[in-house]
C-alpha cells in the first residue's frame, strides 16, 4: 500500500481555568457598560476600578492579568474592549500543532 500523507490542522484550545478568566473579564466590561462612573474609573485608573470592584462585587484577576489590564491606555470603552479582547486572546489560547504524519 502507498503511504498517504494526512494533514492535521492547528487546534486552538481554551482550558476551563482560562475560560473562567474570560468570564471575569466579561464581568469587568459589563460593569463598565452599565455604569458610566465605573467606566470612567476603569479608563482613568484601571487598578483602582479593579480593587474597588462594582456594587460590592470584587474582581479576581491574577497579578499578571492586572498588569495586562493596567498596560492598556484607552480613551473609550469601545477601544478598551477591543484592546482587552486582543490582549487576553493572545494570552488565553494555547496553540497545539499536530505534525504531519504518514498513515500506512
Give the model confidence (pLDDT) of 44-101 as tens digits: 999 999 999 999 999 998 888 888 888 888 999 999 999 888 877 765 443 344 444 4
| CB burial readout 16-53, b (16+ within 10 A) else e | eeeeebeebbebbbebbeeeeebbebbbeebeebbeee
22: DSSP letter: H
Q: What is the reported pLDDT for 1? A: 56
Cα distance between residue 19 and residue 13, in whole Å: 10
Pairing of strands 11-13, 94-96: antiparallel
Tally of CB atoms within 10 A around 59: 18
Amino acid at each position: 500500500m502507498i503511504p498517504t500523507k494526512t494533514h492535521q490542522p492547528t487546534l486552538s484550545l481554551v482550558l476551563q481555568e482560562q475560560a473562567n478568566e474570560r468570564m471575569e473579564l466579561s464581568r469587568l466590561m459589563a460593569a463598565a457598560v452599565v455604569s458610566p462612573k465605573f467606566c470612567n474609573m476603569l479608563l482613568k485608573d484601571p487598578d483602582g476600578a479593579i480593587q474597588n470592584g462594582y456594587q460590592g462585587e470584587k474582581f479576581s484577576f491574577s497579578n499578571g492579568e492586572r498588569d495586562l489590564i493596567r498596560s492598556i491606555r484607552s480613551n473609550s470603552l469601545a477601544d478598551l474592549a477591543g484592546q482587552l479582547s486582543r490582549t487576553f486572546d493572545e494570552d488565553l489560547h494555547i496553540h497545539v500543532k499536530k505534525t504531519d504524519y504518514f498513515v500506512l
